[in-house]
Chains A and B, each alone.
Chain A
Amino acid sequence: MMKTRRTGAVVLTYLCLVSGAICCLIPLLWLVRSSLMSTEDMFKLPLIFFPKKIRFQNYAEVFTMVPFAKFYANTIFVVTFNIFGALISNLMIAYGLTRIEFKGRKLMFSLSIGTLMLPAYVQLIPLFIEWNWFGKINTFFPLIVPAFFGNAFFIFMLCQFLRTIPRDFDEAAFMDGANYPLIIAKIILPLAKPAMAVVAIFQFMFTWNDFMGPLLFLNDREKFTLAIGIRTFISTYYTPWGVLMAAATLTILPLIVLFFSAQKFFISGLTLGGIKG
């Protein structure tokens, strides 16, 4: 009696997990499958599950129909600067907040964490007005500059991490006559490499996926990033579905590659950021 109940529970567990996994994967597989089909084949009933004639041409047309290579280059440009900015600013800030004792640091930490609770979209219109005053609409500045001012999520995560490094390290360096910038660069940075990798990876993902920023700040198609570039395929008159699916696949490809090559950083980033709330 007890034994059959056990087996039943195990079978049910696997059943749930496998069906969950199928639900996660099917939409993605369907995306890739559709990206290899001609639009006529996609609109045939009964549905063709596996295309007989694989149409790689969709992937070529992605680049000829719109300046997709330019979108790619723009995205990589913006992402690179964002990662650079995030790495420098967040490490500096987190060091200042955790390893130097001075009045006001607790308040600044709380203020920073408080911004996590702000709905970001409330600030978007005033930010647009602000960048309009600076005369920087339709440039990459609004998408890049804010990354150099720290991000609450990363600050919180790095603070958690820096607290695990013994303070004796800094102290010993002071004895040898080092100053704060030197300590950060020579002692903290090498130790914080795994945490910095998490920052870089998540910043990559945030920027790569950002839709609202480019939508507000960029006007010329030549300046589009991938996220808003995809939308140029959709039109009320004619949407080339196969090509659109190919463009979508090309957009997520770098993310998937990154994920599989750096999976452990994703997991540790999520758990560091999401657990200690």
Chain B
Amino acid sequence: MTGAKMGFNTKRQTLWGWILISPLCLGLTLWVAFPMGLSLWTSLTEWDMLSKAEFVGLKNYITIFTEDELFLKSVRNTLYFTVLSVPLQMIIALGGALLLNTQVRGKRAFRTIFYLPSLIPIVVSSVMWLWLFNSQYGLINYLLHSVGLNRVQWIDSRHMVIPSLTIMNIWNVGNIIIIFLAGLQGIPKDLLEAVEIDGGRYWHKFRFVIIPLLSPIILYNMIVNMIKCLQLFVEPYIMTGGGPVNSSLSFVLHIYNNAFKYGKMGVANAMAWVLFILTLLISLVIFKTSCHWTYYEGDR
């Protein structure tokens, strides 16, 4: 279709195009490019937002890696949380979706119930789980105790606090289940039937049809969730304040503390950039290795 046929010449068309997407251009400048540049500049200064910023070069970056023990600890905590959460989320979501994709009764009801936790604001779920994890009066320990198991210290224990947050995080895996389920329903029936005709079992369907066709969806959700997990903040902020003994101090919580508690804007922004680069690197690694296990239709 030509511009002339549309009743507009190309020049006017281009003008209208840019007018219509102008909020996007402005938004990218005001809320993405400018803040990122500002952040980069601030990360090279010493600044408490009150006095004048003082240029210090790469000093902040060196400081966080050499002098700030908590920084590396917060990185470790966050990576631990991510490495624990993302694979478990993917496996459980895939399992749930596969179960729902069989001929079960009440599919809609199950789907609704599984999705419910994803609706709950993180603040509310943090408050709720704070109470469930209570080592004396919490429901979880009460149930464990009544079936004869030992009570667990959950978020009060240095070793259990990150796994506890992981359990919380897995609780709202429902939205991924729904995404995977929709993906499963999009798999052509004849492919699955072809496996049956060839005498294949369920495993063969799973390995040679379901996983390859679902792999782009899995990849996308894996990356989105990884980015989410690396930004862990609200749960430790509300539930533990980063404790006990900083064992749930997440990367973003540490950045927040540096910026708004200690007034070290330069250091906080340097950390934010490290987080940004770290996220980028991990995404890149996942993308690069993904060509071995993802399948796109039309690719040969």
Q: In the bound complex, how far is the Cα of B25 from the Cα of A155, in angstroms?
A: 13
Q: Which of B13, B20, B227 has the most CB of A within 10 A?
A: B20
Q: In the bound complex, how far is the Cα of B26 from the Cα of A93, in angstroms?
A: 12
Is A112 on the interface with B (CB-CB < 8 A)? yes
Are A93 and B114 in touch, CB under 8 angstroms? no
Are B234 and A129 in touch, CB under 8 angstroms? no
Neighbour of B21 across the interface among A93, A115, A118, A209, CB < 8 A: A93
Are A97 and B35 in touch, CB under 8 angstroms? no
Is B62 on the interface with A (CB-CB < 8 A)? no
Are A270 and B42 in touch, CB under 8 angstroms? no
Neighbour of A126 across the interface among B16, B27, B42, B95, CB < 8 A: B42
Q: Which of A207-237 contact B (CB under 8 A)?
A: 208-209, 211-212, 216, 227-228, 230-231, 234
Are A126 and B35 in touch, CB under 8 angstroms? yes
**A127-157: contact bitstring with B at CB < 8 Å (1 yes, 0 no)?**
1111010000000000000101110000100
Is B187 on the interface with A (CB-CB < 8 A)? no
Q: In the bound complex, how far is the Cα of B27 from the Cα of A124, in angstroms?
A: 15
In the complex, how many angstroms separate the beta carbon of A115 from the nearest chain B beta carbon? 6
Q: In the bound complex, how far is the Cα of B85 from the Cα of A235, in angstroms?
A: 29
Known: A117-B227, A126-B38. A241 touches B3 (CB 8 A): no
Is A17 on the interface with B (CB-CB < 8 A)? yes
Neighbour of B129 across the interface among A27, A42, A174, A228, CB < 8 A: A27
Are B39 and A126 in touch, CB under 8 angstroms? yes
Chain B facing A: main interface SS: helix
Q: In the bound complex, how far is the Cα of B18 from the Cα of A180, in angstroms?
A: 12
Is B127 on the interface with A (CB-CB < 8 A)? yes
Known: A125-B265, A252-B119. A115 touches B32 (CB 8 A): yes
Report A's interface with B, CB cutoff 8 A. Answer: 13-14, 16-17, 20-21, 23-28, 30-31, 34, 42-43, 45-47, 89, 92-93, 95-97, 100-105, 108, 111-112, 115-123, 125-130, 132, 146, 148-150, 155, 167, 170-171, 174-175, 177, 180, 205, 208-209, 211-212, 216, 227-228, 230-231, 234, 241, 244-245, 248, 251-252, 255-256, 259, 263, 266-267, 270-271, 274-275, 277
Return 6 A-B CB contacts under 8 Å, by A number.
A25-B113, A31-B128, A89-B23, A121-B233, A126-B36, A248-B127
6 residue pairs, one from A and one from B, having the closest CB atoms: A277-B220, A149-B27, A96-B20, A126-B35, A102-B17, A274-B179
Report B's interface with A, CB cutoff 8 A. Answer: 1, 3, 5-8, 10, 13-14, 16-21, 23-28, 30-32, 34-36, 38-39, 42, 49, 95-96, 99-100, 102, 104, 110-117, 119-125, 127-129, 131-132, 136-137, 139, 142, 171, 174-176, 178-179, 182-183, 186, 216-217, 219-221, 223-224, 227, 230-231, 233-234, 238, 252, 255, 259-260, 265, 268-269, 272-273, 275-276, 279-280, 283
